[in-house]
Structure 1
Amino acid sequence: MGFFIIFLVALAVCSVGFKRYIWFISIGYGFSVAAIGVALLVMFGVQGRLHVIPVIMASLAIVYGLRLGGYLLIREYRSASYHDVMQDAIENGSRVKAPLKIVTWLACALLYACEVSPILFRLDNNAANDVVGIVGASIMGAGIVLESFSDFTKNRFKQRHPHGFCNVGPFKLVRCPNYLGEVLTWTGVFVSGVTIYDGAWQWIAAIGGYLCIVWIMFGGARRLELRQNKEYGDDPAYQHYAKHTPILIPFIPLYGVANAKWLIG
């Protein structure tokens, strides 16, 4: 029942995608995660079944979702160049028929519920606080900080160098540190539940949500790489940067995923 409720919450929030198709996976994503965090605190708070770790993680989900949703909403309306890029990179919805929009809506809501499900399962299973939960919450928090700082760094850089590629701060570590922060966030959420998942269904939901978001983040990195190759491919400085800075995972010599057409993002 708990999973069904958070699925309904995600459905309600990401329905904004019917206004603008991309919002299913952008603004609807961030605010859905925040709303699920609120729903978890309310549901289990009323039952008197809240524990420290899931309370922290649900609160982090709220912070994460509000920060991401708000950031994307502001950027969408304030940055004409960003809006144009997204319109070119992702189907804007004008040619998407209603049945496909409904499928996208349902799939997105299911994904968002699965991503947050480890927090739900810890609460639902009335699991005690443990070291694995603390480690998971810490990784989640670190991921949120990295993603937020990376977005802030790139924003500041683009204000000063609107036609340059960002290679400062966390962008010295990997070319997509914001996506790395996203991966770390959901790695922490998944890891937090490995000692408390009960039954095949909970494992399937948690693993499915985690693998899907990692796949999508690599797809996002591919989309960014293709766009940057088009914009900066003739710049020797960019060529050197791209050949010596991993695309997403630090210290792993994976410098490009442009040819991996099976990735989406």
Structure 2
Amino acid sequence: MGQGPSVIDQATFKEMGLLSWAIIDLAINWGGWAVSAALQTDKFYDMLGTGSFLTLALGSMAAAKVSHARKYLVSAMVALWAVRLGAFLVARVWKVGHDSRFDEAKKQPFKFWIFWTMQAAWVFITLSPLLLLNTASAGGPARIVWSDGVGVALYAIGLIIEATADAQKFAFKMDPANKGRFIDTGLWSYSRFPNYFGEMTLWWGIFITCTSGLSGAQFVSVASPLFVMALLFFVSGIPLQDAQAKRRWGDIPEYQEYRKRTNLLVPVPKSLFCGASCGPKSQ
């Protein structure tokens, strides 16, 4: 009899579906908003954003009715990304002291709530392939199939590129000698947004790794990598960063030349895409 409540709790835990995880996602982010708005701070935003990914990924794996190697694999992939990115973003905001995105919003509770709600939507939509995989009664074929290999390879490439680009830019900004300058070294010498290329690539890898465990309408979760791309291309990624860079350095000839010789996303020499046409024009 003493085991009754724990058995019921465990059974309830195992029955958690997408709606339950959506509620937990909102609870984390709205709770974070309430505290952050009261304190007028932005230092918890990225911590709880990546923390939401970690909570939902590991929680849905633990709650899975049927355990499967693929569920463990993809959950670990998301967890590794979340820990890496979360640690970087939290360290950066505490080092810098603030996040310029929220200088005004954190003083306006409703506007700040919109940012936190958008973050919750980002977490849930982006994580949908894994949530569908973990809440499914099966996890696809037990053996590794070709799509798993492709997915893991894309994920690894994307994670390495994103982590390298983030580290290079952070080190560049922390060097007093580079104050007021734009970065044009390392991966940033080939691409103006190599970190975003890595982010897009790794989420395509996660989705592809999930596909052999999905079926029918569950493939609507392709919205995950498409949403990440749309977000970075049209909303909070490239448009904001590019506009900021143009305001700072748009009139500087060196920056104009930098834009001409680099790709927008893919961190490889631009000549690989346009051949001789990338070279200097004859007078």
Which category of TM-score, normalised to the shorter sequence, fits these structures? 0.7 to 0.9
Whole-angstrom CA distance in 2 between matches of 1:106 and 1:87: 14
Is the contact between residue 57 and residue 131 of structure 2 (CA under 8 Å) also seen in structure 1? no
The answer as to whether partners of 1:233 and 1:239 remain within 8 angstroms in 2 is: yes
**Mapped contact 1:3–1:113 kept (Cα < 8 A):** no
Q: Does 1:137 align with 2:137?
A: no
Please give the residue correspondences for 1:208-247 in structure 2 after superposition, counting only pairs within 5 Å: 208-218=223-233, 219=235, 220-247=237-264
Matches within 5 A, 1:179-190: 179-190=196-207
- C-alpha separation in 2, matches of 1:43 and 1:117: 15
1:131 Cα shift? Answer: 1.5
For residue 262 of structure 1, what is the aligned residue in structure 2? none
Q: Which residue of 2 aligns with 1:126?
A: 139
Q: Whose radius of gyration is greater, 1 or 2?
A: 2
Cα distance change, pair 111–130 in 1 and its aligned pair in 2 (3 A): same
Q: What residue number does 2:110 align with?
A: 97
The 1-side partners of 2:213 and 2:165 are apart by 32
Change in CA separation of 1:33 and 1:168 when aligned onto 2, cut-off 3 Å? same
Corresponding residue to 1:79 among 96, 99, 112: 96
Q: Contact 1:14/1:23 (CA < 8 Å) preserved in 2? A: no
Q: Which runs of 5+ in 2 are unaligned?
A: 1-15, 275-283
Alpha carbons of 1:135 and 1:178: their partners in 2 closer, same or farther (altered >3 Å)?
Answer: same
* C-alpha distance in structure 1 between counterparts of 2:204 and 2:85, whole Å: 17
Cα gap change, 1:41 to 1:196, in 2 (>3 Å): closer
Quote the residue 2:35 is aligned against: 19
Give yes or no for the alignment of 1:10 onto 2:25.
yes
SS of match in other structure, 2:179: coil
Task: Name the residue aligned to 1:116.
Answer: 127
- Please say if residues 34 and 61 of structure 1, whose CA atoms lie closer than 8 Å, have aligned partners that are also in contact: yes
CA deviation after TM superposition for structure 1 residue 168, in Å: 1.1
Give SS of 1:4's match. helix
SS at the partner of 2:85?
A: helix
CA 198–106 in structure 1, closer or farther in 2 if over 3 Å, else same: farther
Per the TM alignment, residue 84 of structure 1 is displaced from its structure 2 partner at its CA by 5.9
What's 2:50 paired with?
30
SS at match of 1:182: helix
In the alignment of these two chains, the number of paired residues is 242
RMSD, aligned CA: 2.6
Q: What is the CA distance between 1:208 and its match in structure 2?
A: 2.5
Report if the CA contact (8 A) 2:74-2:209 is conserved: no
**SS class of match (2:183):** coil
Q: % of aligned pairs identical?
A: 23
What CA distance in whole angstroms lies between the structure 1 residues aligned with 2:124 and 2:196?
Answer: 20
The 1:224–1:111 alpha-carbon spacing in structure 2 relative to 1, beyond 3 Å, is closer
Normalised by the length of structure 2, the TM-score is 0.75
Query: Do the aligned partners of 2:129 and 2:224 also contact (CA within 8 Å) in 1?
Result: no
Given candidates 166, 171, 175, the residue that maps to 1:156 is: 171
Change (3 A) 1:234 1:104: closer
Instruction: Name which of 175, 198, 206 aligns with 2:215.
Output: 198
Change (3 A) 1:18 1:249: farther
